[in-house]
Amino acid sequence: MPLTLALHAISEIHFGASTRIDGNRLVVNESALRDIVLQDDTLAAVDFALTRPGESCRAGPIFDVIEPRAKAAGTGADFPGILGPPTTAGMGTTHVLSGAAVSVLAEMTPDPTRTATGRLLEMSGPAAQGSPYAALCHLLVMPHTKAELPRQAVLKAYRFAGLRAAVYLAQAALDREPASRRTFEPAGPLVAGREGLPRVAYIGQIFSRQRKPAADEPILYGTNTEGMLPVLLHPDEWLDGAVVPSLNSWFGGTETYFYQNHPVILELYERHHARQIDFVGTVATVAGHDNFDRERQCHAAASLVKWILRADGAVLTKYGGGLPHADLAETARLLETMGVNTAVMVSDVSRDRRVESALLFNVPEVDAIVYNGGNGTEYQIGKVDRVVASTAELSALLTGPLRVQASEILGVTNQQGASRMRALVY
């Protein structure tokens, strides 16, 4: 059963007496939404706010962004393994509120050692022009957790609050005819009628073991990836809720919205549909925490691409900081020695802007490298008419003016292709 996205265009969000879609307007019953989010007994309260494109508004720190989506009855579970049973994602019909987003705000800066503000949602000004999120209508969710919870429990509460809110909003579309539908053409290693086309696979890191996941951290079908070997996934599984970011998602600039609209997978699908390539499948992997783990992961990922997917070429992306570069490079090197052409995407997360810091590998066989920018861009962001934050202290901090790096503006930088930034040599 192929995946069909039933797309409902949303250009406005308002609060009202009932949750419904009225033309391109999404009306949300705030009380009903609160009841859905407060199913989690680790939450003491939750607040909501709305913001629209072009508004002089700043919100943060942002924990996650989710596109509202809900499965049609009988076609699978919403975020399987997390909100629903661990059934296979990527099949049947998923209703999508295109143009809308649920953005979860944290009550704390995720990592004060790296940034005082966390990631900010800018809805106007020069920084907003660099972020695709500024073009969306956002329902802002501010969960307030009970006192003295461990940090990981707080972050997990944020994750569930955002996902539950996103599914609830999209369920308003289940009985409506969508504006359009998108059904993905069959892809996989055994699809007939595509002989003679170059066979291309995708390898995506979904976690880096330079940070240890919490025991109950949901990443892949609700599991934390501990002990995981590279695994084959259908492309549609990525797009339909099988993968969500680590609870420490600020590191690497990945949001749930990114996976739902994975730019590399969607680009490969476009080329597959145009019969430029045969998109034969994907491999989800993690970056190792030592040399033994790295060697095991890289050999396993390369073998799946070569011998199971029988690919002629592979696109590879990384997750997190500098250490995952090594896994990326070694996997690509192994594939090149096996006769599989590779293209890798990298970014520079060094802070000193020196080439010695940015050049994290030099492998002659891996010579098709896409560099999608790093920390070299900064913004001076001024005061705005409205600041949305979970606490008065954060509101005061975010009022501005502020000097921030590009990585602190939500959606401007992304290590896996969802970025408008590019690197120039001059």
Residues 7-22 have pLDDT tens digits of: 999 999 999 999 999 9
The pLDDT assigned to 425 comes to: 59
Residue ending a domain, among 144, 159, 181, is: 181
Is 415 part of any domain? no
The percent of residues in the chain predicted with pLDDT above 90, rounded, is: 78
The pLDDT assigned to 77 comes to: 96
Question: pTM to 2 decimals?
Answer: 0.95
Residue ending a domain, among 181, 213, 237, is: 181
Is 246 part of any domain? yes
The pLDDT assigned to 361 comes to: 84
- Within this chain, do residues 197 and 68 fall inside the same structural domain, yes or no? no
Query: Rounded to whole angstroms, what are the CA distances from 362 to 212, 257, 297, 326, 382?
Result: 27, 32, 20, 10, 41
- Within this chain, do residues 249 and 310 fall inside the same structural domain, yes or no? yes
Query: What would the two tokens of residue 328 be?
Result: 């990326």
- Within this chain, do residues 207 and 103 fall inside the same structural domain, yes or no? no
Any idea what DSSP says for residue 307? I
- Within this chain, do residues 209 and 351 fall inside the same structural domain, yes or no? yes
Q: How many domains does the chain have?
A: 2
- Within this chain, do residues 29 and 111 fall inside the same structural domain, yes or no? yes
The pLDDT assigned to 118 comes to: 84
The pLDDT assigned to 209 comes to: 87
Q: Which residues of the chain have pLDDT under 50?
A: none
- Within this chain, do residues 112 and 258 fall inside the same structural domain, yes or no? no
The pLDDT assigned to 375 comes to: 65
Is 88 part of any domain? yes
Burial of 247 (0-12, 13-18, 19+ CB in 10 A): buried
Query: What would the two tokens of residue 107 be?
Result: 């009550």
The identity of residue 123, as a single letter, is M
- Within this chain, do residues 230 and 157 fall inside the same structural domain, yes or no? no
- Within this chain, do residues 151 and 242 fall inside the same structural domain, yes or no? no
- Within this chain, do residues 113 and 213 fall inside the same structural domain, yes or no? no
The pLDDT assigned to 75 comes to: 92
- Within this chain, do residues 239 and 175 fall inside the same structural domain, yes or no? no
CB 229 within 8 A of CB 65: no
Phi/psi of residue 392, each to 5°? -65, -35
Is 416 part of any domain? no
User: Rounded to an integer, what distance in angstroms lies between the CA atom of residue 60 and that of residue 119?
Assistant: 6
The pLDDT assigned to 406 comes to: 84
Is 127 part of any domain? yes
Is 317 part of any domain? yes
- Within this chain, do residues 168 and 292 fall inside the same structural domain, yes or no? no
- Within this chain, do residues 176 and 194 fall inside the same structural domain, yes or no? no
Residue range(s) defining the domain that contains residue 47? 3-181
Burial of 416 (0-12, 13-18, 19+ CB in 10 A): buried
Question: Which residues neighbour 282 within 8 Å (Cβ) at sequence distance 6 or greater?
Answer: 201, 202, 203, 204, 232, 233, 234, 235, 238, 265
Residue ending a domain, among 149, 181, 213, is: 181
Residues 146-160: tens digit of each pLDDT: 999 999 999 999 999
Is 422 part of any domain? no
Is 195 part of any domain? yes
